[in-house]
Amino acid sequence: MKIALGADHGGFGLKNKIKEHLLQKGYEIMDCGTDSDQSADYPEFGFKVGKAVTSNQVDVGIVICGTGIGISIAANKVKGIRAALCTDSYMAKMAREHNNANILALGARVVGPGLALDIVDTFLAVSFSGWRHTRRVDQISEFEKSC
């Protein structure tokens, strides 16, 4: 599985911890930046990860900023993205199973590194369950096409 990672300065440190963790597990990583803890604007990285997912360069993405809110909003502006801000593993499980989320958003100032890695592992281990949830995800996609 290939995963795109993107973060602003607030998420830079956690992005690197997640990257190291995923590389040790054998995942292929596309690092979309930022490359330092110097001030950087989160929309750029949310857009980059979103485009990497929708262009099929990667299977899923992970985006990180201070709270996860801004970067998830930015990623969700990319047509076809369903970025889910998760603060625990149950949310990550449901984001994948029920909402077919293709990007996980995290807040580096909200969750600690240990919890973040557990959330990431859960997100990557779970797949979309389909069934009645397909109808709901399709409704979102159809509305998106009409905008």
For the stretch 85-100, what's the b/e string if a residue is b when 16 or more beta carbons lie within 10 angstroms of its beta carbon? Answer: bbbebebbbbbbbbeb
Catalytic residue among 65, 86, 133, 147: 65
147 assigned to active site: no
65 assigned to active site: yes
In contact, 110 and 69? CB cutoff 8 Å: no
In contact, 2 and 59? CB cutoff 8 Å: yes
Closest among 3, 100, 114, 126 to 57, alpha carbons compared: 3
Query: Would you give the DSSP letter of residue 60?
Result: E
| Residues recognised as catalytic | 65, 98
